[in-house]
Amino acid sequence: MTDIINALVVLANFLLVPALTYGSQLALGALGVTLVYGVLRFSNFAHGETMAFGTMITIFGTWGLQSMGVSAGPLPTALLALPLGIAGAVALSLLLDKTVYKYHRQRKASPVTFLIVSIGLMFFIGGLVRFVIGPGDQIFFDGTRFIFSARDFKKATGLDEGLALKMTQAVTIITAILVVAAMFWFLNKTRTGKSMRAFSDNENLALLSGINPDRVVLITWILVGALATIAGSLYGLDKSFKPFSYMQLLLPIFASAIVGGVGNPLGAIAGGYVIAFSEIAVTFAYKKVVAYVTTYEPESLVQLLGTDYKIAVSFIILVIVLIVRPTGIFSGKTL
Amino acid sequence: MNQNFFSQNRVPVLYAGMAALLVIVGLGQGWSVSLSILNLCLISAIMSLGVNMQWGYAGLFNVGVMGFAALGGLAAVIVSMPPIHEAQAAGGSGILIGLLILVATIFASIFVWKQFNKNKKLAYWLIFAVIAVGYVLGRVLFLPAVEAIEAIDPSVSGYLGGLGLPIVLAWPVGGLFAAGAAFVIGKVALGLRSDYLAIATLGISEIILYFIKNEEWLTRGVKNVNGLPRPVPYEVDLQQAEWFQKLAADWGMAVTEASSIFVKLCYAGLFVAVIAILMYLSETALRSPWGRMMRAIRDNETAAAAMGKNVVKRHLAIFVIGSAVIGLAGAMLTTLDGQFTPVSYQPLRFTFLIWVMVIIGGSGNNWGAVLGGFFIWFFWIEAEPIGLWLIDTLTAFMDGDHPLRVHLMDSAAHMRLMTVGIVLLVALRYFPEGLIPERTARKA
């Protein structure tokens, strides 16, 4: 019996908690992609770099606060700097919308043109971020490291295996829940949110009903900038900030959005967790679990795929969804 | 009048300008440098021809150019490197059986899918079972073989080696590899929303690279494969040959310099031959009824479908052909480098730079795509000296070790990233037609 509990603890420690954390980050990222898709009707390849940009500003804010001696106690200081990062990312998004996207929108360019434009912006923002903060790793986490560590857990329960909960993991999951709740409240209960959904559902009808398209676009970019910064900062706190890894996040984020059903916020969240769980579950080494559950101790790591192929997992799920159910789990085209 | 002359003779004027740029570099930095740039220009031009087929003819957005080019490079290794008999004896059969199981699994899944089409739930479970069995069987047989191969002399070989055939054969094989990957991707993503293809190709190109970096039994991974055989003579042999010493004397150059120029000229000759054939084929195709059909599909899919054209099938065909051309160019590039270095494949250089070439050159026009390949590659190479010089001059008033100046000099490399982005955005906004616009019936 204790063996099975030990096995479950191993799974919870190395699979469940990391996957919930990573899934929350992906879900927030995918939510941004889905919003752009739903309202502006294109796949935004620059989203990963927007995340990196917002995180960069947050890091500068954190450094500033740290040098002034401000801290959030056990919580990471970066949470206090988050509003600054959000403001930065929103400002950048609005500026780029005004200077770049607006022109193509007025000419009613095809979605593919928008896609290429967003790739151009991806390089522009990516270059900007690397130019300002450099391509290297930045660790900006401070505060208490663990809420409870593996040793505390072992002492408290008397089990052989430990379950640790890092501060960043708890912060990520709680922030994600709060943000998602606020987001749904906004989309479903407020007048502005409803007008956004109407615009996403049927643009012409929305225009006829007197919804101001410029305002909808403005609100969308504000939300996207905020979501991108929060997702990026949480990811950066949990792992570390490195511009290149944000470029690599693009594929899992797109996969999450598509798996859930592009344009559907609920789908984006579900997709994020599906991708995160499969990525970690497929590349997880089950050796210990097998050893606990059965009496046999396997020699190999009992890993379905090497960790190097992590990125392939989200792609394979994407392909399966495209073959079996191209509209995604929650078949949705509107917000 | 002047304006008229330019618009009537746009293509020759622009190509002459490009040639003049190369001559200037030849006079300024030496002919060897100029010819190296020319060779890479030719390869870039072929890649951008491939992308132009997909984007210019058919409006398909492929962001996986890097992956297809890397597959071409892999083909060069597999075809031309001498076989390593010990490795093949140790693990060849295991690898072969593993691959056979993979193929069998795929066919079994397709078979199940077709047989149980009516009962989808059952089909899913059966396919899942087939894949699980195939996976376990394949793994049990495959992994020991891989370990055996990688254990043999890992510092020099540690991989299967190739077939030991002439490397020129690798070029069409590279095309075939890329075509195969493109077929699978096209089957999945074409016929769905247009941006799914972009996301799918982005994914596959990353995965191809992960595969190439990690499957050391096939590619040596990040340990690189060096010393690929050449289709042209080696400099050392030339320097020793009597006829060549005489030729160098006729040219009035030192033998070493003449040999390097001669080798590069040989490569250039081969590449020009390939590009000439491709240009002939693609120009003929573009003017043929098939080309008209492709453009009709691109411009209005619904109308073309209503005329009885199978849009998805035509898209698949052009996607496969375009990718094959990119794979061919990838194999040529690895041949020119003489080594296969998986780490050198970067999306910026291999995917998006090619895209900038097509858009700047003129999408839908083969001459434009080729010119774009020349033009953008030329500036890509020459941008670094220009950029460094620019920053150096602009910050000349600061001290040599002023932090801002040091930071700017260090970040010069990232300027490329930003520049590519800005060039793409400016081109899309102000000259979406490119340097040599597509010829339409009215304009011609």
Q: Are A38 and A230 in contact (CB under 8 A)?
A: no
pLDDT at B444 over 60: no
pLDDT digits (tens, 9 = 90+) for A121-131: 999 999 899 88
- What CATH number does residue B243 fall under? 1.10.3470
Reported confidence tier of residue B3, pLDDT bands at 50, 70, 90: low
Could A318 and B199 be called an inter-chain contact, meaning their C-beta atoms sit closer than 8 Å? yes
Q: Which residues constitute the domain of residue B269?
A: 34-83+161-430
Structure-block tokens of residue A101: 């996207």
Q: Are B294 and B309 in contact (CB under 8 A)?
A: no
* B55 or B193, greater pLDDT: B55
Task: Show the 3-state SS of chain B.
Answer: CHHHHHHHCHHHHHHHHHHHHHHHHHHHHCHHHHHHHHHHHHHHHHHHHHHHHHHHHCCCCCCCHHHHHHHHHHHHHHHHCCECHHHHHHHHHHHHHHHHHHHHHHHHHHHHHHHCCCCHHHHHHHHHHHHHHHHHHHHHHHHHHHHHHHHCCCCCCCCCECCCCCHHHHHHHHHHHHHHHHHHHHHHHCCCCHHHHHHHHHHHHHHHHHHHHHCHHHHCHHHCECCCCCCCCCHHHHHHCHHHHHHHHHHCCCHHHHHHHHHHHHHHHHHHHHHHHHHHHHHHHHHCHHHHHHHHHHHCHHHHHHCCCCHHHHHHHHHHHHHHHHHHHHHHHHHHHCCECHHHCCHHHHHHHHHHHHHHHCCCCHHHHHHHHHHHHHHHHHHHHHHHHHHHHHCCCCCCCCHHHHHHHHCHHHHHHHHHHHHHHHHHHHCCCCCCCCCCCCCC
Residues B299-325, mean pLDDT to the nearest whole number: 92
Helices A213-238 and A78-96 pack at an angle, to 10 degrees, of: 140
Q: In this predicted structure, what is the pLDDT of residue B237?
A: 85
**What is the percentage of chain A residues whose pLDDT exceeds 70?**
99
Residues A294-320, mean pLDDT to the nearest whole number: 78
Q: In this predicted structure, what is the pLDDT of residue A71?
A: 82
Residues A224-245, mean pLDDT to the nearest whole number: 93
Q: Which residues of A touch B429 (CB under 8 A)?
A: 100, 103-104
Interface subset of A 169-228, CB within 8 angstroms of B = none
Residues B51-75, mean pLDDT to the nearest whole number: 92
- A122 three-class SS: helix
A54/chain B closest Cα distance in angstroms: 18
Radius of gyration of chain A (CA): 21
Q: In this predicted structure, what is the pLDDT of residue B315?
A: 92
B427/chain A closest Cα distance in angstroms: 10
pLDDT digits (tens, 9 = 90+) for B179-230: 999 999 898 888 777 788 888 888 888 889 988 988 888 888 888 888 888 8
**Domain assignment present for A320:** no
Could B414 and A130 be called an inter-chain contact, meaning their C-beta atoms sit closer than 8 Å? yes
Q: In this predicted structure, what is the pLDDT of residue A114?
A: 92
**Domain assignment present for B133:** no
**Domain assignment present for B27:** no
Q: Which of A256-260, B132-136, B351-355, B392-396 has the lowest average pLDDT?
A: B392-396
**Domain assignment present for B152:** no
Structure-block tokens of residue A122: 């991806």
Mean pLDDT score of chain B: 86
**Domain assignment present for B357:** yes
Structure-block tokens of residue B117: 């089409």
Residues A325-332, mean pLDDT to the nearest whole number: 76
Amino acid at B400: G
B98/chain A closest Cα distance in angstroms: 16
pLDDT at B1 over 50: no
Phi, then psi, of A212 in degrees rounded to 5:
-80, 110
pLDDT at A78 over 80: yes
* A297 or B278, greater pLDDT: B278
Q: Which residues of A touch B428 (CB under 8 A)?
A: 104, 113, 116-117, 120
Q: Are B37 and B25 in contact (CB under 8 A)?
A: yes
pLDDT at A81 over 90: yes
Could B414 and A135 be called an inter-chain contact, meaning their C-beta atoms sit closer than 8 Å? yes
Half-sphere exposure of A259 (CA within 13 A, CB side): 26
- A146 three-class SS: strand
pLDDT at A333 over 60: no
> Is some CB atom of chain B closer than 8 A to the CB atom of A126?
yes
The total number of structural domains that make up chain A:
1
The total number of structural domains that make up chain B:
1
pLDDT digits (tens, 9 = 90+) for A199-231: 988 888 998 999 999 999 999 999 999 999 999
pLDDT at B11 over 80: yes
Q: Which residues of B touch A308 (CB under 8 A)?
A: 210, 213-214
Structure-block tokens of residue B74: 């892999």
Q: Which of B64-78, B198-212, B405-419 has the lowest average pLDDT?
A: B405-419
Q: In this predicted structure, what is the pLDDT of residue B397?
A: 74
Strand partners, A171: none
Q: In this predicted structure, what is the pLDDT of residue B158?
A: 77
Q: In this predicted structure, what is the pLDDT of residue B372?
A: 92
pLDDT digits (tens, 9 = 90+) for A179-198: 999 999 999 999 999 999 99
A189/chain B closest Cα distance in angstroms: 31
Q: Are B83 and B112 in contact (CB under 8 A)?
A: no
Q: In this predicted structure, what is the pLDDT of residue B386?
A: 73
**Domain assignment present for A322:** no
Q: Which residues constitute the domain of residue A218?
A: 22-248
Reported confidence tier of residue B400, pLDDT bands at 50, 70, 90: low
* Sole residue written with tokens 């994600």: A176
Q: Which helix (H) or strand (E) holds A148?
A: strand A146-148
Q: Are A260 and A271 in contact (CB under 8 A)?
A: yes
**Domain assignment present for B216:** yes
Cα distance between residue A285 and residue A14, in whole Å: 9
**Domain assignment present for B91:** no
Interface subset of A 249-278, CB within 8 angstroms of B = 250-251, 254-255, 258
Residues B345-360, mean pLDDT to the nearest whole number: 89
Q: Which helix (H) or strand (E) holds A166?
A: strand A165-166
Residues B249-262, mean pLDDT to the nearest whole number: 85
Report the predicted TM-score, pTM, of the whole model to 2 decimal places: 0.88
Cα distance between residue A232 and residue B142, in whole Å: 39
A82/chain B closest Cα distance in angstroms: 26
* Residue of B184, B195, B201, B204 to mutate, interface with A, max A Cβ within 10 Å: B195
* A299 or B369, greater pLDDT: B369
A247/chain B closest Cα distance in angstroms: 11
pLDDT at B443 over 50: no
Interface subset of A 12-31, CB within 8 angstroms of B = none
Q: In this predicted structure, what is the pLDDT of residue B441?
A: 58
**Domain assignment present for B135:** no
Q: Out of A21-25, B221-225, B387-391, give the one with best mean pLDDT.
A: A21-25
> Is some CB atom of chain A closer than 8 A to the CB atom of B355?
yes
Chain pair A-B, CB pairs under 8 angstroms:
122
